[in-house]
Amino acid sequence: DAGVIQSPRHEVTEMGQEVTLRCKPISGHNSLFWYRQTMMRGLELLIYFNNNVPIDDSGMPEDRFSAKMPNASFSTLKIQPSEPRDSAVYFCATSKGQPYGYTFGSGTRLTVV
Amino acid sequence: AQSVAQPEDQVNVAEGNPLTVKCTYSVSGNPYLFWYVQYPNRGLQFLLKYITGDNLVKGSYGFEAEFNKSQTSFHLKKPSALVSDSALYFCAVRDSNDYKLSFGAGTTVTVRA
């Protein structure tokens, strides 16, 4: 198994541009999570999908952020328009559900200039 | 509600000495407990977990952790630390009634040669 695959690994964009981060979960994992990691706030859960359905998006910072999971093998996190304070490492993690833990992707390092 | 505390931001030890990284938790139901390690510019990697059964669990790279219900702790230990163990360590808890994995703030471990 190739694990959780995230793309791109690095993204540098200008303020105001749209950014799309991608995630391919492990086959058979029915839960998918998007996290953001910064030095100041640590790991923050942004949104959780179960069986492709968004269950909890209370961690999404504002309307500029949106996430979709059109099928069991693909999810996107979009920021439009991007701002410098969105600079962070964004992780996708997936799970088979209780009582299992999560498997994390390698992350996307986003820099908004 | 569930939460995790890692009381130490940093732990410094000499190579060959025992390593302990502390973690305490709070859940309303039964806890599922996890340790993850993050190396620079990498995602979080699973080390070990406690779900049920023996309070002492063994994991990857020679690490182990002991579940202590009365003290609500799940400290990570390694009898003899290696320089290569230098990394950021996260404790996480999942209530048996919840889907969410709550992470501590992380502890940076530095093992000096």
Cα–Cα distance measured from residue B70 to residue A58, given in angstroms and rounded to the nearest whole number: 32
Residues of B in contact with A10 (CB under 8 A): none
Residue B77 buriedness (CB in 10 A; 0-12 / 13-18 / 19+): middle
The Cα of A42 is separated from the nearest Cα of chain B by a number of Å equal to 6
pLDDT at B42: 86
Q: Are strands A5-7 and A103-104 parallel, antiparallel or unpaired?
A: unpaired
Task: Return the structure tokens found at A58.
Answer: 């209370």
Task: Return the structure tokens found at B74.
Answer: 């799940």
Q: Residues B9, B58: contact at Cβ < 8 Å?
A: no
pLDDT at A1: 66
pLDDT at B99: 80
Strand (E) positions, chain A? Answer: 5-7, 10-13, 19-24, 31-38, 42-50, 53-56, 65-71, 74-79, 88-95, 103-104, 108-112
pLDDT at B101: 87
Q: B71 in contact with A at a CB cutoff of 8 Å?
A: no
- Low-confidence residues in chain B, pLDDT < 70: none
Please give the average per-residue pLDDT across A37-65, as a whole number.
92
Q: A44 in contact with B at a CB cutoff of 8 Å?
A: no
CB contact under 8 A, A99 and B106: no
Q: Residues A25, A94: contact at Cβ < 8 Å?
A: yes
Peptide bond into B7 cis (omega under 30): no
Residues of A in contact with B96 (CB under 8 A): 98-99
DSSP state of B85: G
pLDDT digits (tens, 9 = 90+) for B42-72: 889 999 999 988 999 999 999 999 999 999 9
Cα–Cα distance measured from residue A58 to residue A107, given in angstroms and rounded to the nearest whole number: 21
